[in-house]
Amino acid sequence: MNLDQEQLRKAIVSLAIEKVLLTIGHPVYEKIIKQLSKDYNCYLPECYEHPEYLNKVLKKIFGNSHITIVDAIKGELNEQITERPIAVFVSAISE
């Protein structure tokens, strides 16, 4: 696997998450970032390798409403979802 492609996927996923969270509002973005750091000592880019962290934090903060955010992230990644690593990421945050 090409390392550059993997880095590109990581950046695309990170930007998609950031865009969705910032669309909801800066305070929401900050809350998610702080919770990821507090619970898992990670930041948005690490969510690509550990989508379960993002999934758990979204559920913790939003409960069942996290599905709306996951759907928005899926929408942002729609064009890249045919790539297996991104499809795996989307599947993992959707659980």
Per-residue pLDDT of the chain (95 residues; tens, 9 = 90+): 567 988 999 999 999 999 999 999 999 999 999 999 999 999 999 999 999 999 999 999 999 999 999 999 999 999 998 889 999 999 999 98
Query: Which structural domain range is residue 75 located in?
Result: 3-93
| pLDDT at position 2 | 66
Q: What is the CATH number of the domain that holds 63?
A: 1.10.1200.200
| pLDDT at position 57 | 97
The answer to whether the beta carbons of residues 85 and 9 sit under 8 Å apart is yes
CA angle 55, 74, 18 (to 5 degrees): 70
Domain total of the chain: 1
Other C-beta atoms closer than 10 Å to the C-beta of 42 total 16
Q: Please list, in sequence order, all residues whose beta carbon lies within 8 angstroms of the beta carbon of residue 25, skipping any fewer than 6 positions away.
A: none
| pLDDT at position 1 | 52
Residue with tokens 């990670």: 42
